[in-house]
Structure 1
């Protein structure tokens, strides 16, 4: 079926980006498998190996392969930056109509790239993701907690992007180059996966998912991903999706940030009082520190930094919004108390209005 369909497709070039860090044991075998794809007359290859400052013979092996095969180019980082940085370098240099990611560790079978590129070539898709969990093909059985972690991250990513992927963290992602040409990759390590999924989803690109096999490695065999990368992936899901969320969900996320800032406010306030600092100074100091925490959490998790203003302008706008909300809070509290409302109730009502004003000010004026 694949060969029949290929006969009706015009020739195309597939750029395959191979990020590499200390993969001397598998790099040559991986590239030899990739080169088998060129036996099909209608698919030309451009193989870009990006050596991320390997400490072993990976770069030397890559150079030897480059000397023997005109399809191969080798790029080198002078310092180790991570998989995302290597892919950023490779994407920038790719010239083919389609761009694929191939890890150098051979956990993924390069020959399956041919079927992944088909929905791109026949015009159905802009992005194709290979799923290790859709069946079809052998799968090495490893690491229950990795499976659970991947399922949780994929679920959260789907919830934020409104997709129904089964394997967001899959390495096998193939793109139509023009579809992702203007996407700026920001993550340097394994945060690339949730970042790129978020960005192609928000661009409303046509995304397909296809079953692939998987031959995973153990840590003794060279697997590099760790729990810190899982935490970073979780952060990236929030970081690259939150500002696209519908207003009610985004407001709920802001309440969580406000709650954290409120806890900081209370802790600083009580701590300063405990050290004998006066009430006015303790109150003002705790408020300023909590406002700063709120700001940094907003730009880290919820809103786009410098989307409306440069940093200085953004901070000024933020201070004005906070100050305005503070004045409104004071005015409402005073007015309610003046007409006989209990002070505690007046403060709660004023605080609720202040939270809403703070959120709307951040969403529409600051970020």
Structure 2
């Protein structure tokens, strides 16, 4: 029997577009103009950078990728307006940031100890992944890498089902039951990714979302992370890697302490929260072991010469190990400034890597 929260998903016409214009999923789904005149495909260069394979230029993060954001995955309400996801979690759109949070006080089960009896897991067999995949494939640029946005990670889903403090208490009071929950959640993540890989055409990588910390530190000691969160997470990520996909991590918080665990789990790349982590420390200590994406903030009063100089400084500072991507961020969202920064990033880093790797470009 399909739960009441799965009924919409089971009966949706997936041949239609469902996201609200202007929302983040809608933006992610928009087709992008081809990037032409590069010595290798944008996809090949991006993969080289992710895996430490001597890129031809430093990628402009997000601009050079296509995001696979299925309408068929209702980890948030579809479309993203106030309402329930298919877990029975009520989400609220926060105006001004255009992002969703769970409604304060949301509780889908009476207490964590009762999750086996009370929690209704999504039945993915009733979802039309095939039709949704055929629809979204038409929007993807074949020259760009295609990255599945895998939101609401194994830990995040726990504290969306019950209050956050109770989620942390479960680590101490119900460790065995928590391990069962995380492993079942890993099964769900594997099943969902299996459908994405099967029905959405070429998928090169997975961007896995799971926030692990505050702006001061991680939520867990490294010992607790290794014992209770890492086993299920590692099993899920191994499935992804075994399918030949690279793994990017989105994990907000000051999570530098977990980088050794990230590397051990096979994570290829992390985009650290910029106001909580030390980019220089990460680059100096781990920049040859995994890829990082750091922001380049373009001031609203900068002219073109200042923008281009800042881009060159960024490449000079972070380019040598070949495993850094640049996320160009303009304060005033000026397309001309974005274009100038991307142009300088491509041409300057192309020359930089040609010298570094002895290429004749």
The bucket for the TM-score relative to the shorter chain is under 0.3
Normalising by the residue count of structure 1, what TM-score does the alignment of the two structures yield?
0.24
Higher relative contact order (Cα pairs below 8 Å, separated by 6+ residues) = 2
Please state which structure has a larger fraction of its residues in helix. Answer: 1
